Amino acid sequence: MKINIYYGGRGMLDDPTLYVINKMQEILEELNVTVERYNLYEKKNMITTLPQTLKDIDGLILATTIEWYGIGGYMQQFLDACWLYGDKEKISKLYMCPVVMSTTYGEREGKVNLATAWEILGGLPCSGICGYIADTVTLEMNEDYLKLIEKKAESMYRTIHQKLPNFPASNQAVKQKIAITKNIDLTPQESEQLSQYAADDRYVKRQKEDIQELASMFKDLMETKEPDDGQEFVSDLESHFSPQSGLKVIYKFVIEGKKKPLIVQVNNEELKCFYGAVEKAEVELQITRETMQDIIASRMTFQRAFMSGEMKLKGDFKILRVLDQIFVFSKSEE
């Protein structure tokens, strides 16, 4: 028989959880059980790979210390890794004994949380240990506490050895009916390989760099397919310009997909159209390329585009109305 111990505390000398799992390990080894300990704080960069260590065991002990609130980040990371990368079929056959000692409030809730998490993973929880210990010396000097630890270790051994069944848990029934989880169709071997990659900082960094390089490449390809910002719509506006005496205004067209805005400067009979920047514009128009094409093809007017919400305006609405007078697109030119 083989049992693994996963310790989620910080490894402090006065941690009461360490005393409990040390005693449980001694008792289990006396019963000829092979026990292997994993201190999660020492393997914080490898936690995502630890579900691999569940594949050749008969049971496990999840041990943590509540120092202020909850079961702690290391233990939560390990449970997350079991959910994402663990072999659920193997987990469903594993008995788990929760050990939660507290130097503050919440040891019972922590024990329940570990048992519930293991049930949701599909595993089999055993009766665990929880308690409030303000001073580890008190725990070490009390013979009654030692007997309790011995009985729990022996009970876990019998449960695993006899493969005692558990009653069905309601959270399993609820999970099967309403839980929405992403189903990753991977073999246990592929899941193990994936978890190894996830824990490899160099691999993750290289993948991010590759993704950025691909994104940049596709962006460049898309930009080469776009019409030249210096030409599109400029000649259409210039060829349909109808001067208005006494009109001096600057329009700024922010066209979706264009890097630079289209600037239209009207000074009496003079017209300048270009893509670039301008210090100040009386009217700023936000418009899509498709709507601009409809206006030039006389399927739409500037005013109708604004009224329908296809074009947004910042500035004087009266100046907007003039656009349809100085740029006349005849329907005969569709």
Q: Are 214 and 248 in contact (CB under 8 A)?
A: no
Distance between CA atoms of 139 and 133, rounded to whole angstroms?
A: 7
pLDDT in the model for residue 163:
87
Contact 186, 194 (CB under 8 A): yes
Average pLDDT, rounded, for the chain:
85
What is the dotted CATH code of the domain comprising 234-333?
3.30.1050.10
Angle (deg, nearest 10), helices 107-121 and 73-85: 10
Q: What is the mean pLDDT of residues 239-248?
A: 88
For the chain, report the end-to-end CA distance as a whole number of angstroms.
84
* 90-94, 192-196, 246-250: the lowest-pLDDT one: 192-196
Model pTM? 0.54
The per-residue DSSP string of 153-200 comes to: HHHHHHHHHHT---PPPHHHHHHHHH---------HHHHHHHHHHHH-
What's the CATH class of domain 2-189?
alpha beta
Question: What are the pLDDT digits (tens) for 292-331?
Answer: 999 999 898 998 898 888 999 888 778 888 888 898 887 5
102-144: per-residue pLDDT in tens? 988 899 999 999 999 999 999 999 989 999 988 888 888 899 9
In the chain, the percentage of residues whose pLDDT exceeds 90 is 45
DSSP state of 241: B
Q: What DSSP line would sit under 45-84, residue for residue?
A: TSGGGGGGGGTT-SEEEEEEEESSSSS-HHHHHHHHHHHH
CATH 3.40.50.360 boundaries in the chain: 2-189
Q: For the chain, where do the domains classified as CATH 3.30.1050.10 start and end?
A: 234-333
pLDDT digits (tens, 9 = 90+) for 152-172: 999 999 999 888 887 777 766
The answer to whether 174 and 24 have CB atoms below 8 angstroms apart is no
* Model pLDDT, residue 82: 93
